[in-house]
Structure 1
């Protein structure tokens, strides 16, 4: 019986020592595991922030490039295209030519009307002379 009691006593002391050692060790391991899990989450979040920042920088640089190129093209383009100037000049020339043609026709018609009026006046005078005689 004494041997069993001594064995039980030794076993109880060993269990007590294991509890005294294991529980703090387990607590420590749980804290380490939680810390590592949080660290992993923080690394993931930081990676996403870095990737988002890189994507934004790339998109902004692309938009800046496109904007600068379009602005340079517009700055180098003339205010009025040469084709527009040529069309405008051709229209002006045609307008001047048509106006001169119309004026020439009007002048010819007026001259013809003057001649006709002259004939009519002569004819009237002749009729009046014939009637008075």
Structure 2
């Protein structure tokens, strides 16, 4: 079984900035992108010991980690600076193909929530992280 992430393809578009999807490149070696676990339901236990539950909508938070010399940093820098200068939100969209597991993920209505304003300078420059919060992250086979 192949579980490599080396051949993943991450395409990001921001309609008012990059209407044509851009391929992200220059990921960090130990952390290209990651999503956090989500709670899909709210549960409560009644005093009589009966469990009640309900579906709750949720945000899918994703962290993208790029090397400090990644050509894709420009995309995130422009996205963040445009939001700052216009005091407006520019939602993005993405598709992520992971050939090793034959899956594609469609990311819908993403908001750039957190950015690394500059790399940390240590022995060498350290990777930079960006957090996008997505309305939906839907899997499909490829």
Please give the range of the TM-score, normalised by the shorter of the 2 chains.
under 0.3
* TM-score, L = length of structure 1: 0.14
Whichever of the two has the greater Rg, that structure is 1
| Structure that is richer in helix per residue | 1
* TM-score, L = length of structure 2: 0.14
| Structure that is richer in strand per residue | 2
